[in-house]
């Protein structure tokens, strides 16, 4: 009965299906490079590998390098076909060149490990037998010696590595077990805890069944979500037939000293993920079972996760390094643990971090399962006053006078950030943004030289600039350097519109990479809506709207304060998302400079008729995005005004704003027609009025309607609902 209620109930099945759809969508979205078909690059990559497979590794490497050199010369000569297929072939050759370079040097790397171990043993610090330093060198040499005769082969590496291109699925698999934990404790919300606890099978027996349910849910979650992504990667990059290849044939796994095939790795990966998710579920269930109050349980869980996350920063040389691996994040991000070879001292013996988590994981699962059984037996529905709740009440009493001050705005801010967990949402957004990165730049030696000279000669073009470039060109010998200087000199000699020389790369990332902008836009829309959706509905949910409407301040002043709160939240989200975007762009592409330069100085705007500066263009770009977010927030406010429950406001806002934006992000033409994402992700400085103008009008209309509802129609809407 319990298994049917949890695993076959609508909440779990619908939630799991939703996660599968979102995960699949996210994979398709991440693999859309230059075309609408997410499999186009995989096809070109496969064709290139099939073409090179009959050749030796040396011949294949030579051919890929020659292809890149020929492409560079075509770019310099201005005859390169800058089409999607040409870009794909260039990217495929760059990826495959890295594979060949790695394969040709793998045996040398293994020999180097052996030589380094012997050399270290001749140093006094590592020469004393029985010490950790000495035993570490011996164990490292022995582990990697086992790989010397293991054959490595050429194949579709991306079919494996793209599974780990983003960490969405790694964290996504935890959500079903979190839902299961909540469903386990549903009887507390429904007032049935006392009845169940009093029954003979309502403690140990029921808890034992729930442990089995948790394990089954972990299996379903991992196999469905991770397995689907593995199969999708194999489908896109044509790698399903290569699971018999040695895992170390792939550069990402050069530091794994355990011989295994790709198929064996996937089995191990799935098994560790299942038990890792099971372990995390048991920990969360234990916290929620011990602490009856949801807010306190949420706080305790947050503290535990925060402490575990801080342990990941422990230095490998620390005596506490074992806690860096005996950690829930080691099981969530298992791939990073496997690919990082490190020996640890554990009870007097040496063990690698990967082996340690695999050995200790079953004991952790068993231990927390037993703890959950004990809590189920001992924890009573009615008992002594909770110490934490008493402390919380004393803190609230002490600060009650302060929290009651500050007027309506402070109270609204408290309700949204504390009561509705807005602060937690912003914290999640901050963690997400910190762990994101700008799209990896596929830089060639030619691009490196071009960036160098653009930074060196940044500023207005003068006669001295031209003369200096001509002098550098005379002394240049490398083909890439010559090509970069020739392009720079051509720009300087043809600067007829007052163009400057400046570093183009960061501006191209901001103004040209629309897929990059869609990611930032989608994230800002999602978190803004989740944050603001309850802003109006929270009063209706608590049946306070009638009382508020009976006062003049509840119809006008309250609405104005909510508008101010909406404005501040929108600006804050905008600053977080796009401020982080600019910081990450600088880290990957270089610093923004020469803001006073004419916009036509940028290569992507060379043929533009716009007579504005780079700073004015960036101000227009990010100012327009703020305007779009404000309009979206106002529409969300209107939806919130029309709903009686917070969950309905969230679902309505997500359904009418986020869902079309998600469709447009993966290339749906139907989604683009009604998407809020398109005007948010536009990179044109002076875009067409559609769809920006309709969105602005909708936003203005939403403000008017929201005010009218707040002033006139609250009572009517309440009676109808």
List pLDDT tens digits, range 425-467.
888 888 888 878 787 776 667 788 888 888 888 888 888 888 8
Q: 169 with 229: CB under 8 angstroms?
A: yes
Rg (CA), the chain: 30
Residues 613-649 have pLDDT tens digits of 899 889 988 998 999 899 999 999 888 888 888 778 8
Give the pLDDT confidence of 199-243 residue by residue, as tens digits: 777 788 888 999 999 999 999 999 999 999 999 999 989 888 889
Give the pLDDT confidence of 73-118 residue by residue, as tens digits: 887 777 777 777 888 888 899 999 999 999 999 999 988 888 888 7
Task: Please choose, from the candidates 365, 28, 337, 353, the residue with its C-alpha nearest in 3D space to the C-alpha of residue 177.
Answer: 365
Q: Helix, strand or coil for residue 523?
A: helix
Q: pLDDT value at position 715?
A: 45
Tokens in use for 638?
């209107």
H-run or E-run covering 349: strand 349-352
**Closest C-alpha among 579, 544, 494 to residue 718:** 544
Output the CA torsion 533→20→272→298 (10° steps): 20
Structural domain of residue 251, as residue ranges?
160-378
Length of the chain: 721
Answer yes or no: do 426 and 313 share one domain: no
* pLDDT of 398 above 70: no
425 and 515 belong to one structural domain: yes
Q: In sequence order, which residues have a C-beta less than 8 Å from that of residue 203 and are 6 or more positions away? A: 197, 376, 377
Asked if residue 245 and residue 166 are part of one domain, the reply reads yes
595 with 615: CB under 8 angstroms? yes
Q: How far apart are CA 111 and CA 164, in angstroms?
A: 29
What is the rounded distance in angstroms from the CA atom of residue 202 to the CA atom of residue 188? 13
3-state class (DSSP) for residue 591:
coil
Q: Using CA atoms, how far apart are residues 629 and 625, in angstroms rounded to an integer?
A: 6
Domain check: are 326 and 414 in the same one? Answer: no
Taking Cα atoms as reference points, which of 524, 337, 351 lies closest to residue 429? 524
The answer to the question of residue 168 being in a domain is: yes
Q: How far apart are CA 180 and CA 12, in angstroms?
A: 8
Query: What is the Cα–Cα distance from 718 to 721, expressed in whole angstroms?
Result: 5
3-state secondary structure at position 95: helix
Residue at 47 is within a domain: no
Does the structure show a pLDDT above 60 at 379?
A: yes
Q: Are residue 352 and residue 466 in the same domain, yes or no?
A: no
Asked if 497 and 514 sit in the same domain, the reply is no
Examine the fold and report which residue of 358, 378, 398 is the final residue of a domain before the chain moves on: 378
**Given this model, what pLDDT does residue 716 score?**
43
Q: Check pLDDT > 80 for residue 388.
A: no
Rounded Cα distance, 256 and 258, in Å: 6
- Both tokens assigned to 97: 């060149």
Burial letters for 50-74: b for 16+ Cβ neighbours within 10 Å, e otherwise? eebeeeebeebbebbeebbeebbee
Please state the rounded mean pLDDT for residues 2-21: 86
Span of 21-25, 149-153, 302-306, 712-716 with lowest mean pLDDT: 712-716
Query: Tokens 């969405």 correspond to what residue?
Result: 168
| Residue 714 predicted with pLDDT over 60 | no
Three-state secondary structure call for residue 598: strand
Q: Mark whether 265 and 299 lie in a shared domain.
A: yes
Q: Give the span between the Cα atoms of 95 and 100, in whole angstroms.
A: 9
- 204-221 in b/e form (b: 16+ CB < 10 A) is eebbeebbebbbebbbbb
425 lies in the same domain as 323: no
User: Is the Cβ–Cβ distance between 499 and 461 less than 8 Å?
Assistant: yes
Share of the chain above pLDDT 70, in %: 87
Q: Whole-model pTM?
A: 0.70
Residues 559 and 491 in one domain: no
| Positive or negative: CA dihedral 31, 36, 41, 42 | positive
**Is the domain of 573 the same as that of 697?**
yes
Handedness of CA 570, 576, 581, 583 (dihedral sign): positive
Q: Output the average pLDDT for the chain.
A: 82
Which pLDDT score, from 0 to 100, does residue 395 have? 65
Give the C-alpha separation, 643 to 538, whole Å. Answer: 9
On whether residue 42 sits in a domain, the answer given is no
Task: Judge whether 75 lies within some domain.
Answer: no
Helix axis angle for 10-30 and 174-184, nearest 10°, is: 160
Burial of 158 (0-12, 13-18, 19+ CB in 10 A): buried
| 431 and 454 co-located in one domain | no
Distance CA 545, CA 642 (A): 12
Domain count for the chain, please give it.
3
Report if residue 127 sits inside a domain: no
532 and 578 part of one domain: yes
Q: What is the DSSP string of 616-670?
A: HHHHHHHHHHHHHHHHHHHHHHHHHHH-SSHHHHHHHHIIIIIHHHHHHHTT-HH
Percentage of the residues of the chain whose pLDDT score is greater than 90: 21
Per the CB < 8 A criterion, the answer to whether 306 and 203 are in contact is no
For 327-362, what is each residue's pLDDT tens digit?
Answer: 888 888 888 888 888 888 777 678 888 888 888 999
pLDDT given for residue 719 in this prediction? 45
Reply yes or no: is the peptide bond before residue 611 cis, omega within 30 of 0: no
């Amino acid at each position: 009965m319990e298994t049917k209620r949890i695993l076959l109930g609508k909440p779990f099945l619908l939630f799991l299906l939703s996660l599968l759809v979102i995960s699949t969508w996210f994979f398709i979205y991440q693999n859309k490079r230059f075309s609408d078909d997410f499999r186009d690059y995989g096809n070109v990559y496969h064709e290139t590998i099939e073409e090179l497979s009959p050749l030796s590794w040396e011949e294949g490497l030579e051919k890929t390098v020659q292809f890149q050199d020929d492409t560079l010369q075509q770019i310099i000569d201005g005859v390169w076909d800058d089409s999607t297929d040409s870009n794909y072939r260039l990217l495929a050759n760059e990826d495959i060149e890295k594979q060949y370079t790695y394969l040709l040097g793998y045996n040398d790397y293994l020999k180097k490990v052996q030589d380094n171990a012997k050399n270290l043993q001749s140093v006094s610090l590592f020469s004393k037998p029985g010490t950790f330093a000495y035993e570490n060198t011996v164990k490292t040499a022995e582990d990697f010696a086992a790989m010397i005769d293991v054959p490595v082969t050429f194949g579709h590496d991306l079919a494996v590595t793209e599974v780990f291109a983003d960490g969405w699925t790694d964290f996504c698999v935890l959500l079903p077990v979190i839902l299961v934990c909540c469903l386990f404790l549903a009887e507390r919300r429904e007032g049935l805890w006392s009845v169940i606890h009093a029954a003979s099978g309502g403690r140990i027996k029921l808890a034992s069944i729930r442990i089995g349910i948790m394990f089954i849910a972990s299996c379903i979650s991992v196999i469905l979500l991770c397995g689907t992504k593995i199969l999708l990667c194999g489908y896109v990059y044509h790698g399903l037939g290569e699971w018999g290849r040695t895992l170390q044939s792939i550069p990402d796994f050069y530091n794994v000293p355990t011989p295994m095939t790709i198929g064996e790795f996937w089995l191990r990966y799935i098994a560790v993920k299942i038990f890792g998710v099971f372990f995390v579920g048991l920990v969360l269930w234990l916290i929620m079972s011990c602490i009856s109050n949801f807010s306190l349980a949420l706080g305790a869980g947050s503290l535990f996760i925060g402490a575990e996350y801080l342990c990941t920063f422990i230095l490998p040389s620390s005596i506490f390094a074992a806690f860096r691996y005996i950690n829930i994040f080691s099981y969530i991000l298992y791939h990073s643990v496997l690919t990082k070879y490190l020996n640890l001292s554990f009870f007097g013996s040496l063990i690698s971090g990967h082996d340690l988590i695999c050995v200790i994981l079953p004991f952790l699962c068993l231990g927390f399962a037993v703890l959950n059984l004990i809590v189920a037996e001992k924890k009573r529905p009615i008992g002594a006053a909770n110490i934490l709740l008493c402390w919380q009440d004393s803190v609230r009493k002490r600060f009650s006078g302060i929290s009651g001050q500050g007027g309506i705005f402070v109270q609204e801010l408290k309700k949204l950030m504390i009561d509705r967990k807005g602060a937690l949402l912003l914290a999640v957004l901050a963690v997400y943004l910190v762990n994101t990165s700008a799209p990896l730049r596929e830089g060639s030696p030619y691009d490196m030289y071009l960036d160098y000279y653009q930074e060196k000669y940044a500023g207005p073009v003068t006669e001295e600039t031209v003369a200096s470039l001509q002098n550098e060109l005379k002394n240049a010998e490398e083909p890439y350097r010559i090509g970069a200087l020739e392009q720079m000199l051509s720009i300087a000699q043809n600067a007829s519109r007052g163009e400057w020389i400046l570093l183009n790369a960061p501006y191209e990332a901001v103004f040209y990479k629309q897929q990059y902008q869609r990611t930032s836009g989608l994230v800002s829309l999602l978190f803004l809506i989740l944050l603001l959706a309850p802003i109006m509905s929270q009063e209706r949910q608590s049946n306070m709207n009638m009382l508020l409407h009976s006062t003049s301040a509840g119809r006008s002043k309250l609405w104005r304060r909510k508008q101010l709160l909406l404005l501040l939240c929108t600006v804050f989200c905008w600053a977080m998302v796009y401020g982080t975007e600019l910081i990450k762009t600088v880290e990957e592409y270089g610093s923004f400079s020469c803001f006073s330069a004419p916009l036509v100085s940028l290569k992507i705007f060379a043929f533009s008729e716009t007579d504005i500066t780079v700073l004015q263009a960036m101000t227009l770009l990010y100012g327009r995005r703020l305007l779009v977010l404000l309009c979206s927030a106002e529409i969300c406010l209107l939806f919130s005004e029309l709903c009686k429950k917070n969950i309905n406001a969230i679902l309505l806002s997500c359904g009418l704003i986020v869902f079309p934006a998600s469709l447009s992000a993966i290339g749906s033409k139907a989604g683009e027609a009604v998407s809020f994402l398109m005007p948010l992700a536009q990179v044109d400085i002076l875009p067409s009025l559609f769809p920006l103008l309709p969105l602005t009008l909708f936003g203005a209309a939403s403000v008017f309607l929201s005010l009218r509802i707040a002033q006139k129609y609250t009572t009517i809407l309440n009676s109808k609902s």
